[in-house]
Amino acid sequence: MAKTVKETPMMQQYNAIKEKYPDAFLFYRLGDFYELFNDDAIKGAQLLELTLTTRNKNADNPIPMAGVPHHAAQNYIDILVDQGYKVAIVEQMEDPKLAEGMVKRDVVQLVTPGTKMDTGSADAKKNNYITALTSVGDEFGLAYADLSTGELKATVLASTDSVINEVMNLQAKEIVVDNSITDDFIATLKKLGLLISSQADIVTTAELSYLSQDLTRDLEKQAVGHLVTYLTVTQKRSLDHLQKVVSYEPAFFLKMDHNSRYNLELAQNIRTGKKQGTLLWLLDETKTAMGGRMLKQWLDRPLIDRTQIEARQAKVSQLLDNYFERASLQDELVKVYDLERLAGRVAFGSVNGRDMVQLKSSLLQVPKLQAVLANLDNQVFNALTEKLDPVADVAELIEAAITDEPPLSVTDGGIIKDNYSEKLDQYRDVMKNGKQWLAELETKEREATGINGLKIGYNRVFGYYIEVTKSNIAKLDPNRYERKQTLTNAERFSTPELKEREALILEAQEKSTVLEYEIFAQVRDVVKAAITRLQALAKAIAELDVLQSFAVVAETYHFVKPLFTKGHDLDITQGRHPVVEKVLGRQSYVPNDVVMPTDETIMLITGPNMSGKSTYMRQLALIVILAQMGSFVPAEAATMPIFDQIFTRIGAADDLISGNSTFMVEMAEANNALKNATDKSLILFDELGRGTATYDGMALAQAIIEFVHNNVHAKTLFSTHYHELTVLADELPQLQNAHVGAIEQNGNLVFLHKMEAGPADQSYGINVAKLAGMPNVLLQRASTILEHLEDSANELPMSSATVEVESVAVEPVVAVVNTPEPQPVHDEQLALFSDEVVDPKNAAVINELKGVNLAMMTPLEAMNKLFELQQKL
């Protein structure tokens, strides 16, 4: 019969700690295992594929339980954190052998998605950002940090949209909020996949004052305060590697919202969600993890300052023109480990001997990098060379103190070199001579007893012993041999001489291990004092790595240095989409010019689907981004202005976060561009307006084009299937028509992928359907229907090609964006269903048309029905 068991002291302790961390998995240390209890055990067993057992099996309330070995715990913690959970690590705070009563335990670290330090080799080139948010009125203070590298930055943002954009661009995993953030906005942030953590108070410390001393805006200070307090409370250890906060303004860089970055596939492939097939993938020829992260940061924030851009270009030119020096740099950079994260582990106290050897190895490459740069133009590389501090004192200390192949553990000995510490050498001499003495004693005892199988051994429980098989026990002197342990076939003994020597050896071993750890900690403290220098060195090496990567890419893919004009001329000769070209091969890719003088702001592009309009538009955006990163660009020549913002609407996708339709997303993104673009911006609109009725879409498209032309004056590429819009070239002087060439050969459509002046002569929709593999009978039927529709359109008093669409002012455009309900269009269309104007002879057809349920018909069925009714009329 089951019985109720009173809660044990251990479970009382566990529950008391769990109350403080209700939203985290509690890894509770018991001996050599971390145990999970209750709901943590049930859920953890499922997520980690552990065996679920129970504590107090025979009780009315058995406690679910699951555990993991302590030496393998990190892997299990990573699995949970990568899935968005928090893990509180509970350690024994005293030696169980010395504890009086219940062993004291407490949380030593809270690991969260935003505070994860060990990223693994697969994510070495990625930052792991945690953000903090506070607000006053309509403004928000945002701070973000990468705990593994010490990077810490802050800004002030003017709207919730700006916050969302910044957080998504950072690909943050976790956001720390205070009481000023509303529940509604928190709910929106959760929809983005962010883990929300709360930190209501700010704990003012000397460290926080130091980190934020350069900040002037209160909102930035508050955001940094909440973030640093949260990190201090959760990590419960030194954060000496956090760098002084850098205040930044998004407007100081080329601005792109997260939709534009997504549409342009800068760092994430739309189809796979991976890096491969993106601009980052193409550009990444970096040799270090630091360089890989800096490349991503430069891609996220291209420059708008011409001087800074051209300074990068000059360095890339030097590296491109000096192949052997560039190859030497690459050879040395490959040997440089992740200095930023090594410094982070030093500050965190988690650095081991192998990390120290990696740090030394990396520092020893710095003089070699300096020597290579000395062969290049000193004026171009002088400032960067000066930042390459080899931190020689740290390298020399590690070389002198740490063995070349240290063990993983820093507490088991074998980590400090001989001749570094006189006392350690003495202990080691005792241990070395002790082993020799034991070998001599074994030989001596065999001779004295005549037992050839006698041997001397050691284990942690019984120490040193003499082992003799039971058949030889009678040969031993019982007055001299003291029994220590009985085995199945042997007995183990000790002697006065062995006890004496054992005490010396074990004391030397114990003191040697303790002393080695003390020496290692001293070395670590010296390295910790040099963290700021190491971080500055890491940035310089990362910059050099990105620049050589640009040079490699420029040489490999035949990029050229772009020229910047103070005017508004855009002239790209034989431009290419670098990623598509890499995938297809250079011989298969068709390059195109983009020529838009100062007095031309809009290029209206027509042409069939699949012909390359979207690729053409994307390639211009990528060329702009590459140029303003300081990279060379995929073209034969390029002259361009410096753009301040890029707005895109390319591809159709619903907004799953807010539940908006494709058309609503189109209008919202168009509205964003119309409100925020300047004459220095680049706008790319692909098939805008296709998500609604034809006349609605055409009206909006024309109104948007006119507004951009008359008010915004941004360089704009606008692709459309509304051929009627091409007549705008006669009315708008800054608009030019262009189309992607295509020809029919033997009834088949052949795309030329070449941009040509003037409008397209037809849409080739049925030809594209043929390319897609639709059945011939369907295509023939569609052609017949098309002929009848075109004939009917020609008989109408006013064809769609001559419909006049009134110019729509800004306010109506915004009203459409904010009004999801469809609006009535033309009176002529409404009159079709009015009995007052229907010819009695056609009443039956009209009634039949009224009874058609379009929602239940496919497009092809609807076209057939329309043709049938038209024939009846």
Q: Detail the residues annotated as belonging to a binding site for ATP.
A: 607-614
| Residues facing 490 on adjacent strands | 469
Phi, psi of 793 (to 5 degrees): -65, -35
- Tokens representing 212 are 């934020």
| Residues facing 494 on adjacent strands | 482
SS3 content of the chain, % helix, strand, coil (to 5): 50, 20, 35
**C-alpha–C-alpha distance, residues 156 and 222, integer Å:** 11
Amino acid making up residue 701: A
**C-alpha–C-alpha distance, residues 701 and 720, integer Å:** 9
Sign of CA dihedral 15, 17, 23, 24: negative
Q: Which helix (H) or strand (E) holds 256?
A: strand 255-256
**C-alpha–C-alpha distance, residues 241 and 152, integer Å:** 10
**C-alpha–C-alpha distance, residues 339 and 289, integer Å:** 9
| Alpha helices per DSSP H over 613-735 | 613-629, 662-676, 694-707
| Residues facing 34 on adjacent strands | 29, 68
Describe the crossing of helices 531-557 and 366-373 by its angle, rounded to 10 degrees: 50
**C-alpha–C-alpha distance, residues 408 and 830, integer Å:** 80
Strand ranges inside 33-85, DSSP E? 33-37, 53-55, 63-69
- Collect all residues with Cβ–Cβ distance below 8 Å to 210 and sequence separation of at least 6: 244
Closest CA to 543 of 738, 292, 775: 292
Is there a contact between 172 and 129 (Cβ–Cβ < 8 Å)?
yes
Q: Which residues are annotated as a binding site?
A: 607-614
Describe the crossing of helices 183-191 and 160-170 by its angle, rounded to 10 degrees: 30
| Residues facing 466 on adjacent strands | 456, 493
3-state secondary structure of 12: helix
Is there a contact between 270 and 180 (Cβ–Cβ < 8 Å)?
no
- How many beta carbons lie within 10 A of that of residue 389, not counting itself? 15
**C-alpha–C-alpha distance, residues 138 and 140, integer Å:** 7
Is there a contact between 813 and 700 (Cβ–Cβ < 8 Å)?
yes
Own/partner contacts of 252-255, CB < 8 Å, gap of 24 or more, are: 252/304, 252/305, 253/301, 253/302, 253/303, 253/304, 254/301, 254/302, 254/303, 254/304, 254/624, 254/625, 254/628, 254/643, 254/644, 254/645, 254/646, 255/644, 255/645, 255/646
Is there a contact between 534 and 343 (Cβ–Cβ < 8 Å)?
yes
**Ramachandran region, residue 469 (left: φ > 0; alpha: ψ -120 to 50; beta: rest):** beta
